[in-house]
Amino acid sequence: MSQTALVLLDVQLNLFTPEATVYASERVLAAIERLINAARANHAAIVYVQHNGGPDDPDAPGSPGWQLHEVCTLQAGDLVLQKETPNAFLHTDLAEMLRQREIKHLVLAGFQTELCIDTTCRAAWSRGFRVSLAADAHSTFDGEALKAAQIIAHHNSVLRNFARVYSSPNIKF
Protein backbone atom coordinates (compact mmCIF):
# COMPACT_ATOMS: atom_id res chain seq x y z
CA MET A 1 0.00 0.00 0.00
CA SER A 2 1.23 3.47 -0.88
CA GLN A 3 2.01 6.04 1.80
CA THR A 4 0.08 8.57 -0.28
CA ALA A 5 -3.64 9.25 -0.10
CA LEU A 6 -5.85 11.17 -2.49
CA VAL A 7 -8.15 13.39 -0.42
CA LEU A 8 -11.15 14.66 -2.40
CA LEU A 9 -12.97 17.50 -0.72
CA ASP A 10 -16.66 18.19 -1.25
CA VAL A 11 -17.10 16.71 -4.73
CA GLN A 12 -20.85 16.92 -4.18
CA LEU A 13 -23.78 17.47 -6.51
CA ASN A 14 -24.83 20.82 -5.03
CA LEU A 15 -21.83 22.40 -6.77
CA PHE A 16 -23.05 21.36 -10.22
CA THR A 17 -26.59 22.67 -10.49
CA PRO A 18 -27.91 24.62 -13.49
CA GLU A 19 -28.30 27.64 -11.20
CA ALA A 20 -24.77 27.55 -9.81
CA THR A 21 -21.92 25.46 -11.19
CA VAL A 22 -18.32 25.90 -10.11
CA TYR A 23 -15.88 27.46 -12.53
CA ALA A 24 -14.46 25.14 -15.24
CA SER A 25 -16.45 22.24 -13.79
CA GLU A 26 -15.95 19.79 -16.67
CA ARG A 27 -12.18 20.36 -16.80
CA VAL A 28 -11.86 20.05 -13.01
CA LEU A 29 -13.98 16.88 -12.89
CA ALA A 30 -11.81 15.36 -15.65
CA ALA A 31 -8.69 16.16 -13.59
CA ILE A 32 -10.30 14.63 -10.48
CA GLU A 33 -11.18 11.49 -12.44
CA ARG A 34 -7.57 11.31 -13.70
CA LEU A 35 -6.35 11.52 -10.08
CA ILE A 36 -8.76 8.79 -8.94
CA ASN A 37 -7.55 6.49 -11.72
CA ALA A 38 -3.89 7.20 -10.92
CA ALA A 39 -4.45 6.62 -7.20
CA ARG A 40 -6.16 3.29 -7.89
CA ALA A 41 -3.42 2.21 -10.32
CA ASN A 42 -0.82 2.89 -7.62
CA HIS A 43 -2.78 1.33 -4.73
CA ALA A 44 -3.09 4.67 -2.94
CA ALA A 45 -5.86 5.27 -0.45
CA ILE A 46 -8.75 7.47 -1.55
CA VAL A 47 -10.63 9.58 0.99
CA TYR A 48 -13.91 11.18 -0.03
CA VAL A 49 -14.80 14.05 2.31
CA GLN A 50 -18.40 15.28 2.29
CA HIS A 51 -19.48 18.59 3.75
CA ASN A 52 -22.56 18.41 5.95
CA GLY A 53 -24.45 21.67 5.58
CA GLY A 54 -27.28 22.89 7.76
CA PRO A 55 -30.93 21.81 7.40
CA ASP A 56 -31.72 24.49 4.78
CA ASP A 57 -28.42 24.25 2.89
CA PRO A 58 -28.09 22.58 -0.54
CA ASP A 59 -25.63 20.13 1.01
CA ALA A 60 -27.75 19.11 3.99
CA PRO A 61 -27.00 15.47 4.86
CA GLY A 62 -29.18 13.10 2.86
CA SER A 63 -30.31 15.77 0.38
CA PRO A 64 -29.72 15.30 -3.37
CA GLY A 65 -27.05 18.04 -3.34
CA TRP A 66 -25.16 16.34 -0.51
CA GLN A 67 -24.54 13.19 -2.59
CA LEU A 68 -21.11 12.63 -4.11
CA HIS A 69 -20.75 13.42 -7.81
CA GLU A 70 -20.78 10.40 -10.13
CA VAL A 71 -17.05 10.86 -10.84
CA CYS A 72 -16.53 9.60 -7.28
CA THR A 73 -16.75 5.88 -7.90
CA LEU A 74 -16.59 4.34 -4.44
CA GLN A 75 -14.82 1.01 -4.19
CA ALA A 76 -14.05 -1.35 -1.34
CA GLY A 77 -11.39 0.17 0.88
CA ASP A 78 -12.20 3.77 0.01
CA LEU A 79 -12.80 6.01 3.00
CA VAL A 80 -15.74 8.38 3.35
CA LEU A 81 -15.63 11.12 5.95
CA GLN A 82 -18.19 13.71 7.02
CA LYS A 83 -17.20 17.23 8.08
CA GLU A 84 -19.01 20.37 9.15
CA THR A 85 -16.24 22.96 8.78
CA PRO A 86 -13.85 23.95 5.98
CA ASN A 87 -11.09 22.03 7.79
CA ALA A 88 -11.37 18.30 7.07
CA PHE A 89 -9.29 17.59 10.19
CA LEU A 90 -11.36 19.62 12.67
CA HIS A 91 -13.80 17.48 14.71
CA THR A 92 -13.15 14.46 12.46
CA ASP A 93 -11.05 11.30 12.60
CA LEU A 94 -9.15 12.12 9.41
CA ALA A 95 -5.67 12.40 10.95
CA GLU A 96 -6.16 9.17 12.89
CA MET A 97 -7.52 7.34 9.83
CA LEU A 98 -4.49 8.43 7.78
CA ARG A 99 -1.94 7.57 10.46
CA GLN A 100 -3.48 4.11 10.99
CA ARG A 101 -2.78 3.48 7.31
CA GLU A 102 0.74 4.96 7.61
CA ILE A 103 -0.13 7.73 5.15
CA LYS A 104 2.49 10.47 5.08
CA HIS A 105 1.65 12.30 1.83
CA LEU A 106 -1.70 13.81 0.83
CA VAL A 107 -2.84 14.82 -2.64
CA LEU A 108 -5.64 17.38 -2.34
CA ALA A 109 -8.36 18.15 -4.87
CA GLY A 110 -11.98 19.25 -4.85
CA PHE A 111 -13.96 22.29 -3.78
CA GLN A 112 -14.02 25.17 -2.83
CA THR A 113 -10.59 26.62 -3.40
CA GLU A 114 -10.65 29.47 -0.89
CA LEU A 115 -12.50 27.49 1.78
CA CYS A 116 -11.98 23.75 2.19
CA ILE A 117 -8.98 23.37 -0.11
CA ASP A 118 -7.08 26.23 1.51
CA THR A 119 -7.99 25.34 5.10
CA THR A 120 -7.39 21.60 4.77
CA CYS A 121 -4.08 22.16 2.96
CA ARG A 122 -2.76 24.33 5.78
CA ALA A 123 -4.15 21.97 8.43
CA ALA A 124 -2.51 18.94 6.81
CA TRP A 125 0.83 20.72 6.62
CA SER A 126 0.59 21.81 10.26
CA ARG A 127 0.00 18.17 11.25
CA GLY A 128 3.20 17.06 9.56
CA PHE A 129 1.80 15.60 6.33
CA ARG A 130 3.55 16.27 3.03
CA VAL A 131 0.96 17.84 0.77
CA SER A 132 0.57 18.04 -3.00
CA LEU A 133 -2.14 20.29 -4.38
CA ALA A 134 -3.51 19.39 -7.80
CA ALA A 135 -3.52 22.87 -9.36
CA ASP A 136 -6.07 21.98 -12.04
CA ALA A 137 -8.31 19.82 -9.81
CA HIS A 138 -9.91 22.39 -7.53
CA SER A 139 -12.35 25.19 -8.19
CA THR A 140 -14.82 27.68 -6.79
CA PHE A 141 -17.40 30.28 -7.79
CA ASP A 142 -16.84 33.92 -8.75
CA GLY A 143 -16.58 36.10 -5.66
CA GLU A 144 -17.46 39.73 -5.10
CA ALA A 145 -13.87 40.95 -5.39
CA LEU A 146 -12.28 38.29 -7.61
CA LYS A 147 -13.35 35.96 -10.39
CA ALA A 148 -13.01 32.21 -9.77
CA ALA A 149 -9.97 31.93 -12.07
CA GLN A 150 -8.22 34.65 -10.05
CA ILE A 151 -9.07 32.95 -6.74
CA ILE A 152 -7.68 29.64 -8.03
CA ALA A 153 -4.48 31.23 -9.38
CA HIS A 154 -3.97 33.16 -6.15
CA HIS A 155 -4.37 30.04 -4.00
CA ASN A 156 -2.14 27.95 -6.24
CA SER A 157 0.52 30.61 -5.63
CA VAL A 158 -0.03 31.15 -1.88
CA LEU A 159 -0.42 27.48 -0.99
CA ARG A 160 3.07 26.76 -2.38
CA ASN A 161 4.16 27.68 1.15
CA PHE A 162 2.35 24.57 2.46
CA ALA A 163 2.24 22.19 -0.50
CA ARG A 164 3.88 21.26 -3.74
CA VAL A 165 1.57 22.45 -6.48
CA TYR A 166 1.38 20.35 -9.65
CA SER A 167 -1.06 19.83 -12.50
CA SER A 168 -2.88 16.50 -12.14
CA PRO A 169 -0.90 14.63 -14.85
CA ASN A 170 2.28 15.39 -12.86
CA ILE A 171 1.02 14.10 -9.50
CA LYS A 172 2.81 10.95 -8.33
CA PHE A 173 1.20 8.37 -6.03
Q: What is the pLDDT of residues 91-109, one digit of tens each?
A: 999 999 999 999 999 999 9
What residue ranges do the domains of the chain occupy? 4-170
- pLDDT over 70 for what percent of the chain? 99
Report long-range pairs for 156-162 (Cβ below 8 Å, ≥24 apart).
Answer: 158/118, 159/117, 159/118, 159/121, 159/122, 159/133, 162/121, 162/122, 162/124, 162/125, 162/131
Task: Supply the mean pLDDT for the chain.
Answer: 97
- pLDDT at position 104, please? 98
Query: In the predicted model, is pLDDT for residue 1 greater than 80?
Result: no
Q: Let me know the angle formed at the C-alpha of 15 by 89 and 81, rounded to the nearest 5 degrees.
A: 25
Which CATH number among 3.40.640.10, 3.40.50.850, 3.40.50.1460, 3.40.50.300 corresponds to the domain 4-170? 3.40.50.850
- Give the pLDDT confidence of 22-60 residue by residue, as tens digits: 999 999 999 999 999 999 999 999 999 999 999 999 999
- pLDDT at position 143, please? 95
Query: In the predicted model, is pLDDT for residue 123 greater than 90?
Result: yes
- pLDDT at position 167, please? 97
Q: Which stretches of the chain are DSSP H helices?
A: 25-41, 94-100, 118-126, 148-158
List, by residue number, the catalytic residues.
116
Q: Which of 87, 70, 7 is nearest to 44 (CA)?
A: 7
User: What is the sign, positive or negative, of the torsion defined by CA atoms of 27, 132, 38, 76?
Assistant: negative
Single-letter residue type at 104: K
- pLDDT at position 117, please? 98
Q: Let me know the angle formed at the C-alpha of 100 by 88 and 125, rounded to the nearest 5 degrees.
A: 40
